[in-house]
Structure 1
Amino acid sequence: MAVCGCKPAGAVVELSKEGSSDDALEVAALPADGPKLVALRAGTPVLARPQAGARKLGELYPGASVVRSSEPYGRAGCSGGWYAIRPRGFVCAGDGATLNTDVLALLPALPDTSRPLPYRYGRARTQGAPAYFGVPSREELQRAEPDLDRHLERVQRSDAQLGASANDVPLDARGVSSGPPVLLPRGDGIGEDGRRTEAGYFLFPIADAIAPLPPVAALGIDIGGKDGARVDLRAALKTVALRKGSGVAITRTFTAGATDGRRFGVTPEGRLVPTDRLQAALGSPWHGLDVEKHGLPVAFVHRHDVHTWSLGRGKATANDEELERRTGVPLTGRFRTVDGVRFEEARDGFWLRAQDLVVVVRRTKLPDFAKGAQRWLDVSLVNQTLTAYEGQKPIYATLISSGRDQLRDPESTASTARGTFRVRSKHVTRNVDPREVADSFDVTDAPWVMALAPDQAITGMYWGAGVGEAQGFHDIALTPIDARRIFLWAEPELPEGWHAVYSNGEEGTLVHVRP
C-alpha cells in the first residue's frame, strides 16, 4: 500500500513541516478484504495522522474489527506501529488494539446498530449490585454479595412477564416506524409462546458462550509501569458496586460453573454483572412522526384522558374515543373556536382541544442557514419538541426531555443552553452525567449520543419514557427509536465498525436550540 507521496507501505511517513497534527494524512484506499485490527479498549482513538497528539477522527470499542494496512506507517510513540484503517485514520497497535484476531471470541459482542437499542439493557434491582472484573471466586462472591442466598431465593420466585420494547417496533430503511410493536418468537427474551419474561430477557441465541477474558490484562499484552515492571490490571480493576437503578448494557451472557451455573452478563467494557441482579430495561417503543411526506402541522397529546370531539352547528360534542398521552396526530391546519375553546382539526376528521396538545407548526421565519439541503434540528424548550429539517422542508417531529429548569441560566441551573450548535461528535453509546437523572443512579452506554458542546448532547434514553417533560440537566433526551432516527440522518456519518466519529468543525449537522 502507498501513501499519496508514493512511499512504500512499510515506510515511515515524513510529516510535512507545514502540516499540523490537525491535518489528515491521506492514504490509498484499503481493500475491503484486507487484514484486520481488533480494538481492546473502550475509546481506542482513531487519529488523523500516525502520531500521538494528532486530531481525533473517531473511536473504536472492544471487539471492533476493522480493515488495516498490511504494514505500519511508522512507530513513533507506538511500539506496535501506527496502522491505517478503513475508511480513514490511524490506530496504534498496543494496549488499545491488536493484530491478533483470535481474541475476538473472548471480547464483548459489538452493538447492533440496526436496532434502536444496540444492546440489551438492565438496571440494578438492588443497591450494591456487583460488576466483577473476571469470573468471581466463591470468596469474591461472599465478599461482594453477603446476601446472595436470600437474594437468589427471592429472584427464583419471580418470573414477571414483560411488555413491548423499542426493538419490537418495525422500522424502514430510514429508521422510521412502519407499524406498532410486535412481539415475535425469538425476539429479545421472547419464547416460542410469544411471551417475554424477566428470566428469558438475558438469554441470547448463543447464551452459554465461554467466559470472556478481561480485555488487555488477560491477553498477555505487556503494560509497563514506571519501573518497567508489569502492571497487574486485574488488581487495579476491582469489583464495582452499582447503585440501585443504575443502567448497564449487556452484550452477551454465559453461565459460570465456579458459581454453580449462575448467569453473568458481559458489559461493553468487559465487566461481568450477575443477570439475577438486573431488571430488564426495554426502552420505550414510543416515537415521533414522519412528516417528510405530509409536512406540518402535527400535534402530540400532552394530557391523560383526552377525548376526540365532533363539531357541528356551533356545538362541540365529546366522542367516546380517547387518545393516550403523547399520541402523535397529523393536523390539517384548520381550527375552530366553540364557546371560547379552540379546537384543532385532525387529518382523520376528528377535532381536539388545543389545550390538550403540543402543536408543531411550520415556522414562518427560519434561520438564515435553512437553505438548500442543509440538515438542521429545530429544538423548542418551551414546547419540548424537536423537528428535523432539510433546508426549509420538515422531515421528522418528536418530543424531547431537556434540562428541567428550562429557560433559566444554564451556567448555574439545570437548563439546556440556547443557541446554534454543530454536532461535534457522534457515539453509538456513551455514559451519561449522573446529574441528568438527578444523581439518583448511574447510566452507562446510553445509545445514539450526539455531542453539541462539552457538557451538552442529544442522547437516547433507555431508562425511562419521560419525553415531553423537562426533567434532565443539560442534555436533550429522546426515546431510542427517535434517537437512532436522528443519529443516522445527522452528519458526520459514522464509518462501519467505528463506535464514535468526530466532526472536523464544519461538517456537523446544525442544532438550533430556542425557547
Structure 2
Amino acid sequence: ARVYSKSREVMIRAAPRPKSQWIGQLTIGSSVRLKSAEPLRGAGDCPAFYAVEPRGYVCVDGERATLDAADPMLQTLAAHAPLADQPLPYRYGESLGLKRLFKVEGIETPEWPSGMHDKRHMQVRPRSSVAWTREVEAGGATWLWASDLTFVPKDKVKPYEAATFQGVHLTSEVRLPIAFFRRKPRPKYRLTEENQLEKTDAVWERLDRVGLTGKSRQVGKRTYLETRDDGHWVLDRDAVVVKPRKSRNPWGRPIQLGGGAPEAVAEGPRSTWIEIAALEGWLIAYEGDRPVFATLISAGRNGAEDPERTEEAEPFVPPSTTPLGQYSINRKWVTKTLITPHVDADDWIEAEVPWSQHFFSKYLLHAAYWHNNWGDGQSGGCVNLSPVDAKWLFHWTEPAVPEGWYAVQVTRKDPSTRLVIHR
C-alpha cells in the first residue's frame, strides 16, 4: 500500500502532528510506501496520519493525499507530473513579461485540489523563468500548462536552449589533474626539435577537457602544460586546471589522485565531500580520500567572500557573491522555485530549479537551465551546475533522498555531504 500526493507539496513529518518538523516532501505524481496500514489519530484539519517508508508520517485527508490508487484526480494529475528521472524535469523558458491565467476559454480545466496555484506571482516579470509540462491549443493561440497548473501564453515565453555540458567521472585511467576549456576554442601546441612549443592548427573546443601529465615547460614568459593528448601541450592561461587545492581531506587523510573506486565502507556515511573553487570555476566530488568526479561550475558573478558576522540573524554576504567556508548539505529538492523579492517591482522567479541542494543561508547547489557558461561566474551567489551534473551530484550526495520522496531535510541522525568552498 502507498500514499499518493494530490498536491504540489505534501509534507512528510517527523511525528504524526500537523506542526511537527518536516523531513521530506511529496509532489504531483509521487507516492511513498506505507510502513503501516494502521492510521494514527490526526489533529486540526488532518483526520489521520500514516507512517511511511523509511521514516516519517503523512497526513492523509483525501484532498491533498490519498491511499486510493484509483482516485480519478491522480490520473488527471499524472500528465502534469515532473519527469524526475530526467536532467530537466520540466520544459523551461524565459518570460517576456506575462500574466498567468487560471482558466482559458476552450480548454477543459478540472477543479484542482486546493493550494495548487502560485497565486502570489500571477504577473511574471521579463527575464524571470517559466516551467511547464504541456502545450495546448485554444482560440487560435498556444498555451503552456505551467508547473502550478496555470496557463501562460506561448508567445510570451522564449524557450531556453538545453545545456548539454557534463563533467567527468574519475577512474584509474581518467584522473586528476584535468584541464577544461572555457569561453572559446584553445590551440594545441607541439614540442619542436629545437625544444620550442609551436601552435598547431588543432584546437580544443570550448568546454572540452584533457588529462594533464603534471609536467610543465617555461618558454620565455609563458608556461605550457603537457597533456595526455598525443603529445600536445596547452598554454596554462588557456586552461582551467582542476586539481585538489590541499593535500588532505577534511578528516585529515591524504588525498589520492589515482582515481578508481574508493575504499569499500560498511553501511553508513561514505565521508562524501565537495571541493569548490569559486573563482576558478570548478568542482571536485570526493568519497573519503579519493576524487570521484570533476566538472566546471558557475559561481557568483561578483566573486566570492567570507560571510561577515553581523547583528542580524544571518551573516552578510555581498550580492551575487558566493560564500567561502565549510558547510554541509542540509536540504535537497528535485525541483525548487527560487524567488528573489522586490519591494517596488514583481518578484524575480526562477521556476522549478532542478536538483537544488541547500547548504547555507539562501545559497544552494543547483542546475542552471538558463545559461551554458561554465567556468565563469554568472550566478547570484549559488553554485550553478549543468543539468546532467546537478542530477548526478544530487543522487550522489548525502543524505540520500528515499524512494518516492521529492525532497528531504537532514535530521540529526543523517549523514551529510560536506562542502569546502575556496577562491
TM-score in terms of structure 1 length: 0.69
Match of 2:82 among 111, 115, 125: 111
Partner of residue 147, structure 2: 268
Query: How many angstroms does 1:214 deviate by?
Result: 4.9
**C-alpha deviation, 1:246, in angstroms:** 2.3
Alignment coverage as a number of residue pairs: 387
C-alpha separation in 2, matches of 1:112 and 1:282: 18
- Name the counterpart of 1:512: 420
**1:429-448 residue CA offsets vs partner (Å, 9 max, x unmatched):** 0112448xxx9952110100
Distance 2:274 2:297 in 1: 12
The aligned counterpart of 1:383 is 280
Distance 1:346 1:393, change over 3 A: same
3-state SS of paired residue (1:355)? helix
Distance 1:89 1:267 in 2: 30
1:348 positional shift: 1.2
Aligned equivalent of 2:222: 341
Q: Which amino acid aligns with 1:396?
A: F
Alignment deviations for residues 142-173 of structure 1 (CA, whole Å, 9 cap, x no partner): xxxxxxxxxxxxxxxxxxxxxxxxxxxxxxxx
Please list every run of 5 or more consecutive structure 2 residues that lacks an aligned counterpart in the other structure.
254-262, 264-269, 308-315
Amino acid at match of 2:318: T
Match of residue 88 from structure 1: 55
How far apart, CA to CA, are the structure 1 residues paired with 2:188 and 2:339?
40
Identity %: 29
Partner of 2:338: 432
**What is the letter of the counterpart of residue 104 of structure 1?**
L
Equivalent pair of 1:41/1:269 in contact (CA under 8 Å):
no
RMSD after superposition: 2.7
Distance 1:239 1:398 in 2: 35
Inter-partner Cα distance in structure 2 for 1:264 and 1:479: 28
Aligned to 2:260: none
Structure 1 residue 512: Cα displacement: 1.0
Larger Rg belongs to: 1
Aligned partner of 1:279 in structure 2 is 158
Q: Cα–Cα, structure 1 residues 268 and 85, in superposed 2: closer, same or farther, change >3 Å? A: farther
Deviations 1:392-412 (A, max 9, x none): 111111111112222335414
Structure richer in helix, relative to its length: 1
Counterpart position of 1:288:
167
Which residue identity lines up with residue 450 of structure 1 in the other structure? Answer: Q
CA–CA separation in structure 1 for the residues paired with 2:100 and 2:251? 47
* 1:97 counterpart residue number: 65
Distance in 2 between residues matched to 1:382 and 1:434, nearest whole Å: 24
**Which residue of 325, 332, 336 maps to 2:213?**
332
Post-superposition shift, 1:354? 0.2
1:299-339 CA-to-partner distances (Å, cap 9, x unmatched) read: 11235242100012221111101222332221111211222
Of residues 420, 426, 433 in structure 1, which corresponds to 2:326? Answer: 420
Amino acid at match of 2:129: G
Tell me the CA shift for residue 238 of structure 1.
8.1
Q: After the TM superposition, which residues 460-475 of structure 1 pair with which residues of structure 2 at under 5 Å, given as runs? A: 460-475=367-382
Matched-pair contact (CA < 8 Å) for 2:179–2:240: yes
Q: Which amino acid aligns with 1:424?
A: N
Is the contact made by 1:370 and 1:392 (CA closer than 8 Å) also made in structure 2?
Answer: no
Code of the residue aligned with 2:47 in structure 1: it is G
Contact 1:303 1:357 in 2 (8 A): no
Cα pair 2:306 2:324 within 8 Å, conserved: no
Partner in structure 2 of residue 24 of structure 1:
none
Shift of 1:362: 3.8
CA drift at 1:78: 4.0
1:355 maps to which of 237, 242, 262: 237
Q: Structure 1: which 5+ runs fail to align?
A: 1-33, 139-209, 218-222, 224-232
Q: Is the 8 A contact 2:299 2:379 kept in 1?
A: yes
Look up the match of 2:182. Answer: 302
SS at match of 2:394: helix
CA drift of 1:456 comes to 1.0
In the superposition, relative to structure 1, how do residues 55 and 397 fare at CA in structure 2: closer, same or farther (>3 Å)? same
CA distance in 2, matches of 1:360, 1:237: 45
- Name which of 276, 290, 294 aligns with 1:393: 290
Query: How many Å apart are 1:47 and its aligned residue?
Result: 0.6
Which amino acid in the other structure matches residue 44 of structure 1? V
Amino acid at match of 1:98: T
Q: 1:470 to 1:338 in 2, by over 3 A?
A: same
Match of 2:32 in 1: 66
